[in-house]
Amino acid sequence: MKSLLPFIKLFKRQWFMMLIGLFLTCTTIIAGIGLLSLSGWFLSATAIAGLTAATALAFNFFTPAGGVRFLSIARTASRYGERLATHEATFKLLTELRVWSWKKLFPLSASNLQGLRQGDMLNRLVADIDTLDHLYLRLLVPMSASLLTVGALYAFIAWFDATLAISLTVWLLAAWLILPLVFYRLGRKPGEAVVDNKRRFRVLVLDVIQGQAELTLFSANARYREKLHQAELALFNSQAAMAHITGLSQALLIMVNGAAVVMMMYLAGQGVGESVPPGPLMAMMVFATMATIEMMMPIAGAFQHLSGCVLAAKRISEVTEQTADIRFGDVGQLPQSELILNDIQFGYQANSPVLSALNLHIPQGSKVALLGATGCGKSSLLSLITREWQPQQGQISLGGLDIAEYDEATLRASMTVVSQRIHLFAGTVRDNLSIALPHVPGQKRRANDERLTEVLKQVGLETLLTSKTVTDRGEEIGLDSWIGEGGRQLSGGEQRRIGVARALLRDAPILLLDEPTEGLDKRTEREILRLLFALAKGKTMLMISHRLTAMAEMDCIHMMENGKIKASGSHQQLMSDNTDYQRLYQHLGKEA
């Protein structure tokens, strides 16, 4: 239960709307009980009044009839308002939970999230947070409303007979205390199974969708579809088990309510207050007891969802309660862009070093290349410079200061990274380029259109500026053209050019390139490199590659092997002195 406390504390931000929802829920229940009680009394009193002509003429039909109409309208209106208020509060609470979770997630490094699959992380941030809406909507509100209604019901019945009020109140309070514990015990394992099986199913679905090309290529679709089918069956079975518990709990509540009705019928049959025989008052007591089923029924589902909420809270807390492994300093200005790596020791696991005693010097304004086979540690080195990871031993200096002394904003602003995989969002060209621009509060959306247009022309994407709509008007939409999920409407070369355009817009003093031309043909590769070298004028550039295109343009080339720098020098020096570089150059072919 302690795992729910951090999330319950967030509820205080929406206390006003939550109280409105609780008030309207109580109003709905009380109006329902009042409606059934008054209707029972009215029908009984009318029947008795009709026994003789004198009593029939003297009986006031209009006031009770007006009361019935008022309560029926009040119940309908409060039920509608309760739905609006509680769901509005729930949506706002979900918003608060998502923002809070993301704020906790942002400072975490890759080492904090190591071992978490993307599908599992997505499930925690979406499905598990969605599960927590039951905490307010199906647990706190029904339980609080039923308890407050018991107090109101006691005051109402005690006005007529204190003994009957105490008897009914004790019975309802016992049910309020005991039945939820029973339901929690019954629904704990099925509730946890539903959350866990839903997580497994969603992760597997994401894996199958993302890996569809590889599964088709290696004829593994049938095997993974069978796994997906088994995960689906497990989810259905856990949901069926929860449905059985729900049916059992509702049956038990109906039985408890029926027992309360029988008890009140027996006690009221002996007289209500000073009325012996009780007459219509007996009917009112019995009908009021029957109406309590409305306030008790939500208790059946409330604590069944508690186990799922607890499990979801634990899964979210496993991520949000972590302490960030990487801490930033408070230096807010970069004096220069010289990079020095001294005696770096790094590994993703304790006994598996990726980089060993590595030393590297990148002078300010120089162009440096790192060559090596896949797995030699090139990309890991780049991750250390960007502080996605931090070394277990050694020091990385930037501008003469330890890189850990800079604040995060300064460090991020000093570097532009063009990675092997350019991530494009499902949006417009403007949206995908604007993320590289500094955020200016209050700035209009189209304020930088001229700059974006200029950059697109620089990288050879003028065709995106003249794209047409599919409407018969055929008007140009330019920067508002939609590029699709992951940029699927663009070719590989166009996607890389978008990455270069972002680098041009960012204009940071340090340019880090992680195999920016991987998978491109020779012609497109040369065009991309030409743009990047033009961007790198006057900047410090580090390019990671296992290809030799444009190596002659580099000030220094470092060859890596098994986490260490094996050889260093310019293209001409390595061609004359290093046989490994010569063989690599002959194998890949001389640039035209």
For the segment 5-64, what is each residue's pLDDT rounded down to a tens digit?
877 888 888 888 889 999 999 999 999 999 998 888 888 888 887 777 777 777 778 888
Residue 516 · residue 557 · CB < 8 Å: no
Looking at the predicted structure, is the pLDDT value of residue 228 above 80?
A: yes
The neighbour count for residue 521, using CB atoms within 10 Å, is 11
User: Could you give the CA distance from residue 215 to residue 423 in angstroms, rounded to a whole number?
Assistant: 22
Please state whether beta strands 540-545 and 510-514 pair in parallel, antiparallel, or not at all (unpaired).
Answer: parallel
Tokens representing 564 are 């260490």
Q: Give the pLDDT confidence score for residue 442 in this predicted structure.
A: 61
Tokens representing 456 are 């697109």
Tokens representing 561 are 């092997």
566 three-state secondary structure: strand
Parse the chain into domains and list their residue ranges. 2-320, 339-424+490-588
Of residues 344 and 586, more confidence is placed in 344
* Of the candidates 576, 434, 568, the residue with the CA atom closest to the CA atom of residue 505: 434
Residue 7 · residue 310 · CB < 8 Å: no
Q: Give the pLDDT confidence score for residue 26 in this predicted structure.
A: 92
Please state whether beta strands 339-346 and 393-398 pair in parallel, antiparallel, or not at all (unpaired).
Answer: antiparallel
What is each CA distance from 157 to 104, 154, 164, 284, in whole angstroms? 51, 5, 7, 10
Q: Give the pLDDT confidence score for residue 589 in this predicted structure.
A: 55
Q: What is the DSSP string of 283-296?
A: HHHHHHHHHTHHHH
For the segment 115-133, what is each residue's pLDDT rounded down to a tens digit?
777 777 877 888 888 888 8
User: Could you give the CA distance from residue 390 to residue 41 in angstroms, rounded to a whole number?
Assistant: 77
Q: What is the CA radius of gyration of the chain?
A: 35
Looking at the predicted structure, is the pLDDT value of residue 500 above 90?
A: no
Query: CATH for 339-424+490-588?
Result: 3.40.50.300
Q: Give the pLDDT confidence score for residue 24 in this predicted structure.
A: 93
Looking at the predicted structure, is the pLDDT value of residue 473 above 60?
A: no
Per-residue pLDDT band for 475 (boundaries 50, 70, 90) equals low
Residue 459 · residue 505 · CB < 8 Å: no
Per-residue pLDDT band for 93 (boundaries 50, 70, 90) equals confident
Give the position of tokens 């009908």: 287
Q: What is the DSSP string of 385-405?
A: HTTSS--SEEEEEETTEEGGG
Per-residue pLDDT band for 70 (boundaries 50, 70, 90) equals very high
Looking at the predicted structure, is the pLDDT value of residue 547 above 80?
A: no
Residues with Cβ within 8 Å of residue 373, at least 6 apart in sequence: 546, 561
Residue type, 314: K
Tokens representing 471 are 């409407």
Which DSSP symbol is given to 546? S
Looking at the predicted structure, is the pLDDT value of residue 471 above 60?
A: no
For the segment 412-430, what is each residue's pLDDT rounded down to a tens digit?
888 988 887 888 888 888 8
Residues 487-509, mean pLDDT to the nearest whole number: 83
Which is the CATH superfamily of the domain at 2-320?
ABC transporter type 1, transmembrane domain (1.20.1560.10)
Q: Give the pLDDT confidence score for residue 467 in this predicted structure.
A: 61
Looking at the predicted structure, is the pLDDT value of residue 472 above 50?
A: no
Q: Output the CA torsion sign for 526, 500, 365, 387.
A: negative
Q: Give the pLDDT confidence score for residue 468 in this predicted structure.
A: 54
569 three-state secondary structure: strand
Tokens representing 537 are 């004028």
Per-residue pLDDT band for 255 (boundaries 50, 70, 90) equals very high
Residues 225-243, mean pLDDT to the nearest whole number: 91
Give, to the nearest 10 degrees, the angle between helix 304-320 and helix 221-268: 130
| Residue 506 phi, psi dihedral angles, 5° rounding | -75, -45
For the segment 433-466, what is each residue's pLDDT rounded down to a tens digit?
888 887 666 666 666 778 888 888 888 888 877 7
Q: Give the pLDDT confidence score for residue 149 in this predicted structure.
A: 92
Which DSSP symbol is given to 480? G
Would residue 394 be called left, alpha or beta, if left means φ above 0 and alpha means ψ between -120 and 50 degrees? left
Q: Give the pLDDT confidence score for residue 592 in this predicted structure.
A: 41
Q: Give the pLDDT confidence score for residue 443 in this predicted structure.
A: 63
- Distance separating the N- and C-terminal Cα atoms of the chain: 68
User: Could you give the CA distance from residue 509 to residue 147 in angstroms, rounded to a whole number?
Assistant: 64
Residue type, 547: R
107-116, 217-226, 242-251, 273-282: the lowest-pLDDT one: 273-282
Mean pLDDT for the chain overall:
84
Per-residue pLDDT band for 591 (boundaries 50, 70, 90) equals very low
Residue 20 · residue 146 · CB < 8 Å: no
* Of the candidates 412, 376, 385, the residue with the CA atom closest to the CA atom of residue 509: 412
For the segment 335-386, what is each residue's pLDDT rounded down to a tens digit?
788 899 999 999 888 778 888 888 999 999 999 999 888 888 888 899 899 8
User: Could you give the CA distance from residue 556 to residue 368 in angstroms, rounded to a whole number?
Assistant: 5
257 three-state secondary structure: helix
Per-residue pLDDT band for 310 (boundaries 50, 70, 90) equals confident
Q: Output the CA torsion sign for 432, 433, 436, 441.
A: negative
For the segment 560-573, what is each residue's pLDDT rounded down to a tens digit?
888 888 889 998 88
